[in-house]
């Protein structure tokens, strides 16, 4: 089996790219990247493995943080919550976990499995269940493709642990985990039922950590070469630049546990006179201009600093920021009819069907693996 052993610059690249793929949500990967790099300096290893290289019967656990990102920042993880989830799942099932995988590559949860895997000395699968960030547990390609909704483990930094031993649906699992998270103080870690390597190879969004790495590398290279990071992101991702402009209005409120709102971006320079409106429910969901909907979930609407390419989270948005809005194509696994029921516009309350924006959905080249 080939592993890609990450170094500190790799972590920085993945964190930067994961921020872009967070589409405004998913939490900031920065804190997690500091923890991951500190583990490398302690002599721990973080190894990625391609999903196609997993043993068919490998036990793969999807591990994520859950809760309000703002609380996650204020009340920093003590670092062992993920480990606690893995150990509790091993205790409950009586089987060893062989590898970890991210539910969402977008945002801080790109880092979550790496930190636990470094402590456990097991690999992380270069793949995830969303290819981006989404607000709810059941919105992964795993559950879209019939993954069982139990057992699942939830743990917090104080040592509280609960195991959902039976959930009638992934939606019910989401409700139970969310409720437990609130009881735990709005920040916790969870792991869903272990998946087989064969299942992961078939249904995870492949090479999404590599994609994050490529995006990060692209932005850093453009900055270093005094090139335009935004143009570099578009070129490297098969994406489309929707608009460069200035944030002119931010409506944002917390309702039902989610950040909901709308962002208005007025075009500048060659985009002067155009205005983009972006609906937010934790993540950026739908972008419209005067002509109607331009991009919609599950395709990615990424907002970055117009000068540096730095991703800007929903909670950071404010009047006057100079931003670029870039659309990236969702992976084909998210565009199937089955997936759109969970992650298409109607799943978020819109009364229209998904229409692709016409991107290519070819996987990016996967760097870093040995020959």
Neighbours of 108 (CB within 10 A): 28
- Quick one: which of 45, 90, 92, 202 contacts a second copy (CB under 8 A)? 92
Segment contacting a second copy by CB under 8 A, of 87-95, 114-122, 233-241, 282-290: 87-95
Q: Which is nearer to a second copy, 147 or 178 (CB)?
A: 178
Query: What residues between 176 and 205 interact with a second copy by CB under 8 A?
Result: 176, 178-180, 182-184
Segment contacting a second copy by CB under 8 A, of 42-50, 166-174, 224-232, 360-368: 166-174
DSSP one-letter code for 144:
H
Structure tokens at 182: 């609130």
Segment contacting a second copy by CB under 8 A, of 27-35, 153-161, 220-228, 245-253: 153-161
Q: How far apart are CA 343 and CA 296, in angstroms?
A: 10
- Is 86 an interacting residue with respect to a second copy (CB under 8 A)? no
From first CA to last CA, the distance across the chain in angstroms is: 11
Nearest to 126 by CA among 200, 217, 237: 200
Segment contacting a second copy by CB under 8 A, of 159-167, 191-199, 273-281, 290-298: 159-167
- Quick one: which of 145, 175, 246, 346 contacts a second copy (CB under 8 A)? 175
- Is 71 an interacting residue with respect to a second copy (CB under 8 A)? no
The helix/strand/coil state of 262 is strand
- Quick one: which of 21, 77, 102, 164 contacts a second copy (CB under 8 A)? 164
Its sign, for the CA torsion 322, 275, 230, 350, is positive
Q: Which is nearer to a second copy, 166 or 224 (CB)?
A: 166
- Quick one: which of 41, 42, 57, 168 contacts a second copy (CB under 8 A)? 168
For the bound state, the minimum distance from the C-beta of residue 161 to a second copy, rounded and expressed in Å, comes to: 4
For the bound state, the minimum distance from the C-beta of residue 87 to a second copy, rounded and expressed in Å, comes to: 11
Q: How far apart are CA 230 and CA 313, in angstroms?
A: 16
Segment contacting a second copy by CB under 8 A, of 8-16, 129-137, 168-176, 287-295: 168-176
- Quick one: which of 133, 167, 195, 330 contacts a second copy (CB under 8 A)? 167
- Is 165 an interacting residue with respect to a second copy (CB under 8 A)? yes
Its sign, for the CA torsion 327, 331, 332, 333, is negative
Q: Residue 241: enclosing H or E segment and its boundaries? A: strand 240-255
Residues in the chain: 371
Residue 285 CB-half CA count within 13 A = 21
Burial per residue of 117-145, b for 16 or more beta-carbon CB atoms within 10 angstroms, e otherwise: bbbbebbbbbbbbbbbbbbbbbbbbbbbb
Q: Which is nearer to a second copy, 8 or 158 (CB)?
A: 158
Segment contacting a second copy by CB under 8 A, of 94-102, 103-111, 152-160, 360-368: 152-160
- φ and ψ of 148, to 5 deg: -70, 150
Helices 208-224/8-21 angle, 10° precision: 100
For the bound state, the minimum distance from the C-beta of residue 193 to a second copy, rounded and expressed in Å, comes to: 14
Q: How far apart are CA 122 and CA 281, in angstroms?
A: 34
User: Are 62 and 103 in contact, with CB atoms under 8 Å apart?
Assistant: yes
For the bound state, the minimum distance from the C-beta of residue 118 to a second copy, rounded and expressed in Å, comes to: 23
For the bound state, the minimum distance from the C-beta of residue 197 to a second copy, rounded and expressed in Å, comes to: 27
What is the binding site for a second copy (CB under 8 A)? 88, 91-92, 155, 158-168, 172, 175-176, 178-180, 182-184
């Amino acid at each position: 089996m080939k592993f890609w052993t990450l170094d500190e610059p790799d972590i920085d690249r993945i964190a930067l790219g994961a921020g872009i793929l967070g589409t405004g949500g998913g939490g900031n990967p920065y804190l997690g990247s500091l923890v991951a790099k500190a583990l490398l300096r302690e002599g721990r290893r973080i190894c990625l493995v391609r999903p196609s290289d997993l043993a068919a019967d490998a036990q793969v656990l999807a591990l994520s943080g859950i809760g309000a990102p703002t609380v996650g920042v204020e009340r920093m993880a003590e670092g062992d919550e993920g480990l606690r989830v893995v150990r509790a799942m091993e205790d409950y099932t009586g089987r060893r976990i062989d590898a970890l995988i991210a539910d969402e590559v977008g945002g801080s949860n790109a880092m979550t499995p790496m930190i636990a895997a470094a402590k456990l000395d097991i690999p992380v699968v270069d793949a995830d269940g969303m290819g981006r960030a989404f607000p709810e547990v059941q919105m992964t390609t795993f559950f879209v493709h019939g993954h069982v909704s139990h057992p699942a483990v939830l743990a917090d930094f104080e040592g509280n642990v609960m195991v959902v031993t039976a959930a009638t649906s992934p939606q019910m699992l989401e409700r139970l985990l969310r409720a437990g998270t609130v009881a735990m103080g709005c920040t916790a870690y969870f792991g869903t039922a272990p998946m087989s390597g064969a299942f992961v190879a078939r249904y995870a969004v492949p090479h999404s950590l590599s994609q994050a790495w490529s995006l990060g590398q692209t932005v850093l290279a453009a900055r270093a070469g005094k090139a335009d990071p935004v143009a570099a992101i578009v070129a490297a991702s098969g994406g489309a630049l929707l608009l460069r402009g200035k944030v002119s209005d931010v409506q944002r409120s917390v309702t039902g546990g989610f950040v909901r709102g709308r962002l208005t971006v007025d075009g500048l320079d060659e985009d002067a006179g155009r205005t983009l409106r972006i609906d937010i429910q934790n993540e950026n969901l739908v972008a419209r201009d005067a002509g109607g909907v331009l991009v919609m979930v599950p395709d990615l609407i990424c907002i970055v600093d117009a000068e540096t390419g730095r991703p800007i989270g929903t909670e950071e948005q404010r009047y006057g920021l100079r931003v670029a809005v870039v659309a990236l194509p969702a992976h084909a696994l998210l565009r199937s009819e089955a997936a759109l029921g969970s992650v298409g516009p109607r799943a978020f309350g819109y009364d229209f069907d998904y229409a692709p924006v016409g991107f290519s959905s070819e996987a990016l080249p996967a760097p870093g693996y040995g020959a």
